[in-house]
């Protein structure tokens, strides 16, 4: 039996190796070969393989950097060895997902997306053989929780869809696919619950996706900017998240999710202000504990926004607002400071922003240590040198800590910027300018819309409650 199998295998190999010079010349003169050879003549990773088996010939083209050799072996080479005729080989290709391509001009685009182009006499097929990169779900790096799932999304689109569908097992979950970027050809998935998502929101999202006309789309942050018509708007209207459980929760609330190939983050829209102040740990705690944590976040938000401006207002304009003991204490700590209060505030806030930026750019093994030591040394040295007061160091630390209490990073970054206009108003008009700036900020947020939804709306979507019928 083994001898017969080996003999059959040797006979197939001999049939495949019998390639006449005339057959090769005929193969090279085809339009497909000419087009692809001319298109990828400068690409060293472009590969061409040809085989003549008995009375039919096969040639396939692909990029070795994009295609998986194992897939090529399983989908082309093994079926080619076992097929007795060209019809059998075509049936095998169609069974494996190959698509016949009547338009030759589309073949280069298919090759650069990880397809292999197979030419079988006058027939041309394409088969997806793209390598799968970073298909494993990653550990949560940004949105940490104490209790709850610790796995984040991956950089593979199909893997992310698999993760979401396994957590949201409803047939109402619909999926639409788009391709963004003229050069990047980034695959994008739009997910929504067809029974819960609002039709006018879906129409707006579809129109925005279809209107994107740029060369490269590689990240969800870039996609958020492209979909936001108000590009000068500081506050985010979409949530960028890495957590599958947050995505599933928002799908159940009627929101829309966008996933990109190559990005471990998802876009959730529409999003209101309350969404950025809630963490997934709120679902894992008792009601009063989660409510208390939300109150702490809002208090921290108020401190991060107003404390520097209030310090300038009280020192330079309205010292009579506070108690005399506190006023004398502040004046005593600033006795050696030769500069006005606003210079002191701007100097310390600049150092804090520089330390935060440095912590993001440094390697993670030394980033936290370097910024912590740097902050302590700078703060103590500046206070001893008389550049800043001791109370200013306390205020700066309180602002930095309070700013990072906000769960979503995009809102935290926005609030880091918003406090500077309030500081400017405090420098010019004192306490009245600070209060007027807060009123203007609240009015601006109240006027904002996130895909036609009020930005200061407490909850997005109606709460559905079911009451049992009372029977006597």
Same domain, 72 and 116: yes
Output the pLDDT for position 123.
84
Same domain, 223 and 305: no
Output the pLDDT for position 58.
86
Output the pLDDT for position 368.
67
Output the pLDDT for position 177.
92
Same domain, 323 and 266: no
Output the pLDDT for position 306.
92
> Of 232, 247, 271, which one is at a domain's C-terminal end?
271
Same domain, 295 and 439: yes
Same domain, 200 and 105: no
Output the pLDDT for position 338.
80
- Beta strands (DSSP E) in 44-95 are 46-53, 56-63
With respect to residue 99, please indicate whether it lies within any of the assigned structural domains.
yes
Output the pLDDT for position 18.
34
Output the pLDDT for position 297.
92
- Beta strands (DSSP E) in 412-452 are 449-450
Tokens of 92: 């095998």
Residue 114 main-chain phi, psi, to 5 deg: 95, 15
Same domain, 309 and 254: no
Domain range holding 320? 285-454
Output the pLDDT for position 458.
67
Query: Containing H/E element for 169?
Result: none
With respect to residue 262, please indicate whether it lies within any of the assigned structural domains.
yes
Distances (CA, A) of 149 to 107, 144, 242, 294, 405: 43, 9, 12, 21, 20
Q: Count structural domains, the chain.
A: 3
Cis? peptide before 270, omega within 30° of 0: yes
First to last CA, the chain: 82
Same domain, 345 and 298: yes
> Residues with Cβ < 8 Å from 441, sequence gap 6 or more?
305, 418, 422
Q: pLDDT digit string (tens) for 395-410?
A: 888 898 898 888 888 8
Give Cα 281 distance to the centre of its chain.
21
Same domain, 266 and 291: no
With respect to residue 210, please indicate whether it lies within any of the assigned structural domains.
yes
With respect to residue 348, please indicate whether it lies within any of the assigned structural domains.
yes
Same domain, 24 and 169: no
Output the pLDDT for position 164.
92
Q: Is residue 259 a contact partner of residue 188, using CB atoms and an 8 Å limit?
A: yes
Same domain, 353 and 241: no
Residue 296 has, within 13 A of its CA and on its CB side, a CA count of: 13
Same domain, 210 and 101: no
Distance CA 328, CA 319 (A): 10
Query: Containing H/E element for 130?
Result: none
Please list the residues that pair with 189 across neighbouring strands: 177, 259
Same domain, 248 and 293: no
Output the pLDDT for position 231.
61
Residues of the chain with pLDDT below 50 are 1-29, 460-472
With respect to residue 467, please indicate whether it lies within any of the assigned structural domains.
no
Distance CA 179, CA 453 (A): 27
Distances (CA, A) of 252 to 153, 192, 197: 18, 9, 9
Output the pLDDT for position 251.
93
Q: Is residue 456 a contact partner of residue 343, using CB atoms and an 8 Å limit?
A: no
> Of 79, 113, 128, which one is at a domain's C-terminal end?
128
With respect to residue 309, please indicate whether it lies within any of the assigned structural domains.
yes
With respect to residue 142, please indicate whether it lies within any of the assigned structural domains.
no
With respect to residue 150, please indicate whether it lies within any of the assigned structural domains.
no
Instruction: Give the helix ranges, DSSP H, for 280-408.
Output: 287-316, 324-333, 341-361, 364-384, 390-403
């Amino acid at each position: 039996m083994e001898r017969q199998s080996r003999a059959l295998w040797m006979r197939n190999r001999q049939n495949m190796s019998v390639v006449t010079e005339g057959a090769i010349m005929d193969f090279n003169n085809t339009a497909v070969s000419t087009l692809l050879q001319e298109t990828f003549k400068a690409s060293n990773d472009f590969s061409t393989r040809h085989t003549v088996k008995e009375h039919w010939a096969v040639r396939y083209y692909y990029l070795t950097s994009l295609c998986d050799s194992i897939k090529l072996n399983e989908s082309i080479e093994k079926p080619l060895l076992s097929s007795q005729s060209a019809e059998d080989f075509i049936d095998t290709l169609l069974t494996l997902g190959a698509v016949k391509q009547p338009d030759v001009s589309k073949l280069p685009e298919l090759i650069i997306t990880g397809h292999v182009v197979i030419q079988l006499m006058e027939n041309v097929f394409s088969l997806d053989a793209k390598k799968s990169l970073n298909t494993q779900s990653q550990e949560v790096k940004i949105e940490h929780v104490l209790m709850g799932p610790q796995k984040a999304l991956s950089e593979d689109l199909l893997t992310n869809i698999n993760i979401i569908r396994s957590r949201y097992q409803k047939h109402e979950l619909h999926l639409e696919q788009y391709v963004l970027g003229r050069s990047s050809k980034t695959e994008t998935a739009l997910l929504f619950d067809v029974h819960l998502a609002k039709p006018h929101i879906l129409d707006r999202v579809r129109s925005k996706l279809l209107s994107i006309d740029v060369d490269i789309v590689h990240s969800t942050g870039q996609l958020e900017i492209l979909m936001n018509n108000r590009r000068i708007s500081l506050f985010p209207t979409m949530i960028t998240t890495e957590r599958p459980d947050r995505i599933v929760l928002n799908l159940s609330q009627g929101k829309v999710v966008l996933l990109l190939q190559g990005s471990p983050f998802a876009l959730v829209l529409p999003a209101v202000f309350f969404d950025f102040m809630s963490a997934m740990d709120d679902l894992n705690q008792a009601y009063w504990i989660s409510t208390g944590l939300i109150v702490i976040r809002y208090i921290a938000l108020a401190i991060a926004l107003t404390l520097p401006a209030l310090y300038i207002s009280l020192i330079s304009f309205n010292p009579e607002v506070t108690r005399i003991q506190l006023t004398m204490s502040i004046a005593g700590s600033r006795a050696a400071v030769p500069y006005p209060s606003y210079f002191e505030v701007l100097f310390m806030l600049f150092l804090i922003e520089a330390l935060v930026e440095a912590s993001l750019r440094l390697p993670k093994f030394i980033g936290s240590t370097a910024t912590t030591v740097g902050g302590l040394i700078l703060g103590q040295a500046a206070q001893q040198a008389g550049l800043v007061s001791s109370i200013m160091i306390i205020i700066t630390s309180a602002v930095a800590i309070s700013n990072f209490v906000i769960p979503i990073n995009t809102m935290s970054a926005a609030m880091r910027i918003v406090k500077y206009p309030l500081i400017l108003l405090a420098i010019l008009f004192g306490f009245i300018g600070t209060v007027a700036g807060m009123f203007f900020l609240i009015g601006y947020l109240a006027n904002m819309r996130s895909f036609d939804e009020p930005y200061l709306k407490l909850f997005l979507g109606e709460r559905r409650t079911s009451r049992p019928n009372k029977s006597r």
